[in-house]
Amino acid sequence: MRAVVQNDKSRASGGARIGLAVLALAAIASGCAQGGASDQVTPAGGQQPLDAPPARALDSYASKLRAAHAARVAAAHRWELKRVPLPAPPPPERKPRIKTRKGFQVAGHRESNLPPVFTRIPTRDKVVFLTIDDGAEKDRTFLRMMSDLDVPYTAFLSGYLVKDDPRYFKKMQARGVVLNNHTLRHRYMPGLSYRAQKREICGMQRYMEKRFGKRPALFRPPYGSYNRATLRAAKACGITHVPLWNEEVFADRWEYREADRALRPGDIVLTHFRGPAEWKGTMPDMIRRFLNKVTAEGYAVGRLEDYL
């Protein structure tokens, strides 16, 4: 009888230890996989050792999550955010099907298999995507802030603005930011011939490969303006997707495409590499405005490329 009681105590102790680890995971990061005593493999004889490997693994994972959360709290305080940014959900196992937004098609869009033009990712995840255009402002404080906060974003670069300091964008790329095509000279594309548009897009593809080692798959036309020739040229240059945006954030305000001025899951948000010379504030000011709003409304910031 004594041996039976001891086995029960061991199982209870092991289950409690694992349960505490699970509670720690749930408290620290929403959406993390949870486990419990029923998930553990019990050795022959029915006894669960106090320091069984599954329990130690959960303890270690919980410790790492606590450390990561503490780092995010410290970074949010350091950069004067009102709330700690929410962690993004894991990338979807199956990529959503991206289709051209209604009203954004050109003649023969589907028949010619032209790249989709869209302003939102179809997802139920409460997540938005930050995209930054042009490349005029090379704000080192912005780079430190984004690295410190571990917030993902996607850059769309124009060659004439990048060439004076490509090292700035190489640092960005080294930190996991994907660099994409925003043409060589940021010209109004519908005003150009097909050949001229192709030179703008393919020329930037070659420049990106030479400077950054890779030709982008994403393209954003300057001013969000395009015609059928733009998309034909983009496809010929190796572009697969043309993301536009639903909201634009500045250092001092937000602007919206939709009349109800509301964020929605999967929204793509636009901003620019700009500073006090053109804005009422700095890029870190813009990021505070962006993060304070999306976090207050329960949104995390996702990595656009994870959904494409």
What whole-number distance in Å separates Cα of residue 273 and Cα of residue 57? Answer: 43
Q: Cβ–Cβ contacts within 10 Å for residue 73, how many?
A: 13
State whether 18 and 153 are in the same domain: no
Do 34 and 122 belong to one domain? no
Q: Looking at the structure, do residues 70 and 198 belong to the same domain, yes or no?
A: no
Q: pLDDT (tens digit, 9 = 90+) per residue, 93-144?
A: 999 999 999 999 999 999 999 999 999 999 999 999 999 999 999 999 999 9
Residues 184, 266, single domain; the answer is yes
**Among candidate residues 76, 103, 134, the one where a domain is terminated:** 76
Using only the alpha carbons of the chain, give its radius of gyration: 24
- Shared domain for 28 and 157, answered yes or no, is no
Residue 81 lies in a domain: no
CATH code, 299: 3.20.20.370
Domain containing residue 20: 2-76
> Over the stretch 179-232, which tens digit does the pLDDT of each residue have?
999 999 999 999 999 999 999 999 999 999 999 999 999 999 999 999 999 999
Average pLDDT score over the chain: 87
Helices 2-28 and 53-78 cross at an angle (nearest 10°) of 20
Q: β-pairing, 268-272 with 117-118? A: unpaired
Alpha helices in the chain (DSSP H): 2-28, 53-78, 140-149, 159-162, 166-174, 194-212, 228-236, 283-296
Q: Are residues 295 and 164 located together in one domain of the fold?
A: yes
Number of domains in the chain: 2
On whether residue 198 sits in a domain, the answer given is yes
Do residues 126 and 63 share a domain? no
- Given 76, 99, 118, the domain boundary residue is 76
Is residue 53 situated within a structural domain? Answer: yes
Q: Are 263 and 247 in contact (CB under 8 A)?
A: yes
Q: Is residue 82 part of a domain?
A: no
Provide mean pLDDT across the span 34-62. 55
